[in-house]
Structure 1
Amino acid sequence: MTELNVQLIKAFLLGIVEGLTEFLPVSSTGHLIIVGDFIEFASSADKVFEVVIQLGSILAVMWIFRQRLFQLIGGTFKRDPVELAFTRNLIIAFLPSAIIGFIFIKKIKELFFNPAVVVVTLVVGGVIMLWVERDRGAGKAPGMPVIANRLEEVSWRQALMVGFAQCLAMVPGTSRAGATIIGGMMMGIQRKTATEFSFFLAMPTMLAAAAYDSYKHASALSQHDLLAIVVGFIAAFFSALIIVRAVLAFVSRHTYRLFAWYRIVLGVIVGLLLYARA
């Protein structure tokens, strides 16, 4: 088997990992770093690979929510007050990570994109999720009444706080989905609604990140890199199609405790493996 074929198999595996974890509160970037490190995935632009294959996942969620997305776009152009408010909230939630990411993302990647950081953030994030999910009621955080049961009921203040929570996900292992969903629940958004808002917020956030990284590092991509990105992109798209519907069905009946414990156990196991390998 040629070196290129091995590289493409690894890219396919990472694409599946991306699609399965992007919309779960377990950190897709953290999983990509851990799996990529253990299978020794090498690319001249591996950080670009990690960001761009997320496009496969986001296109999958756009396809699943296509009717609601068309309704949102059409209603906004027609100046429907409900859709205008929803669009406003998405913009408000998007801006904090867009501004902070534009200024600091290079430094963040240099400092934090390594397995050791992922181990810590996986465990800490899992503990926070367990705390937030202590109340098994209608998907609310401890001491916080649910004041938004539907996407249309989310206020601009709640959207802004979800946007700031999303900034935490720039550190790998934190989880963009986890930060926005748990952040939303802490602000009084019902669990399933917080999950759906997180999915919609992912669209502009991930599209912007992929476009920015592709533009900035396009000259560094070799033909092999591009081929690996295409393979990872396709794998991420189809695996995300499966997982997004499953997540929505799961959170309508269950809490996120299972994922919290998964994060903690995974972080401990990976930490022990890293220690043994050192």
Structure 2
Amino acid sequence: MDIIEIFKALIIGIVEGVTEWLPISSTGHMILVDEFLKLNMSDAFKEMFFVVIQLGAIMAVVVIYWKKIFPFSFKQKQFIKKDTILLWVKIVIACIPAGIVGILFNDKMDELFYNYQTVTITLILYGILFIIIEKWNKGRTCKVNDISELTYQTALIIGLFQVLSLIPGTSRSGVTILGAILIGTSRTVAAEFTFFLAMPVMFGASIIKILKFGFAFTSLELLVLLTGMIVAFVVSILAIKFLVGYIKKHDFKVFGWYRIALGIIVILYFTIFK
């Protein structure tokens, strides 16, 4: 029944909205969710859906950080906000490495790495790294405490870390936050810059998937896609606000332990039931 598929899209939208921004791997969760829900659509549609649903999540960043990312001002004497333009230059620089690798090797990487074995390894590996790096980082003085202090070189290094997120289960937000912390960026700045990086990366990935799928949507496909995107948007707003508030008082170790636990669940599920 159509209503069942729409309900599944709603659940997937909730999962996407939460896991896209928390450093716990949206892909790992999507694999588990799809195992249980079994969205009754074509494989081509599902491949596109699980990527394009992220457009809803992107809009949450746009809404929350509109004043910081919109480069024009109609109230001040200077129409163009110089600081915002410089921020966008840094965002573009940071997105170049993942953009190049993604365009050249997207299909090959999906073929090689989009499986539960890879997701399990990356979930657990980066979970351990979160715990180790947070312990190592305790007591260190951060070099970058405001996003305006990010240099072009720092932005590029964070962008290089983002390339690792092309491997499923890594978590784009997780690996960029880890990378930013390693080079002396505060958790708050690392998380915020990660949110900004998501905009061009997710938009670009979504465009590629839509063009590959085509625009001949059935009414049900369109409704399922819109439901997932809208729900992901609403939930993403809550998830982003939660994460920003959380990291002001806590570190990321809890997410590391969660990743390890999820990785174990994934491997046990596929080993026992598959």
| 1:236 corresponds to | 232
- How far does residue 270 in structure 1 lie from its aligned partner after superposition? 1.7
- Counterparts of 1:31-110 in structure 2 under 5 Å? 31-44=29-42, 45-70=45-70, 72-74=71-73, 78=80, 80=82, 82-110=83-111
The DSSP-based 3-state class of the residue aligned with 1:24 is coil
Alpha-carbon distance between aligned partners in 2 of 1:132 and 1:222, rounded to the nearest angstrom: 47
| 2:169 corresponds to | 173
Q: Deviations over 1:190-232 (max 9, x none)?
A: 1111000101111111111112211221257443322211111
The DSSP-based 3-state class of the residue aligned with 1:134 is helix
Relative distance call for 1:19 and 1:176 in structure 2 (3 A) is same
| 2:130 corresponds to | 129
Relative distance call for 1:99 and 1:236 in structure 2 (3 A) is same
- Counterparts of 1:181-196 in structure 2 under 5 Å? 181-196=177-192
Give 1:100's aligned amino acid: V
Q: Deviations over 1:131-184 (max 9, x none)?
A: 11014546x5xxxx5211100001111111111111111111100000111111
- Counterparts of 1:205-244 in structure 2 under 5 Å? 205-219=201-215, 221-244=217-240
TM-score, normalised by the number of residues in structure 2: 0.92
**Unmatched segments (≥5 aa) in structure 1:** none
Give 2:62's aligned amino acid: M
| 2:247 corresponds to | 251
**Unmatched segments (≥5 aa) in structure 2:** none
**1:34/1:115 contact within 8 Å kept:** no
The DSSP-based 3-state class of the residue aligned with 1:133 is helix
- How far does residue 73 in structure 1 lie from its aligned partner after superposition? 4.8
Q: Does 1:161 align with 2:151?
A: no
Runs of 4+ aligned structure 1 residues displaced above 4 Å come to 73-77
Relative distance call for 1:153 and 1:60 in structure 2 (3 A) is same
Q: Deviations over 1:36-81 (max 9, x none)?
A: 12222243221110111101111012101111122x455997362x
Q: Does 1:260 align with 2:262?
A: no
Alpha-carbon distance between aligned partners in 2 of 1:109 and 1:33, rounded to the nearest angstrom: 13
Relative distance call for 1:46 and 1:251 in structure 2 (3 A) is same
> How many pairs were matched up?
269
Give 1:40's aligned amino acid: K
**2:69/2:84 contact within 8 Å kept:** no
| 1:23 corresponds to | 21
From 197, 216, 228, the counterpart of 1:201? 197
The DSSP-based 3-state class of the residue aligned with 1:189 is coil
Relative distance call for 1:111 and 1:43 in structure 2 (3 A) is farther
Alpha-carbon distance between aligned partners in 2 of 1:73 and 1:30, rounded to the nearest angstrom: 38
Alpha-carbon distance between aligned partners in 2 of 1:172 and 1:225, rounded to the nearest angstrom: 25
Give 1:102's aligned amino acid: I
Give 2:237's aligned amino acid: L
Relative distance call for 1:125 and 1:42 in structure 2 (3 A) is farther
Q: Deviations over 1:219-249 (max 9, x none)?
A: 5744332221111111101111111101000
Give 2:103's aligned amino acid: F
Relative distance call for 1:98 and 1:73 in structure 2 (3 A) is farther
**2:26/2:171 contact within 8 Å kept:** yes
- How far does residue 119 in structure 1 lie from its aligned partner after superposition? 1.3
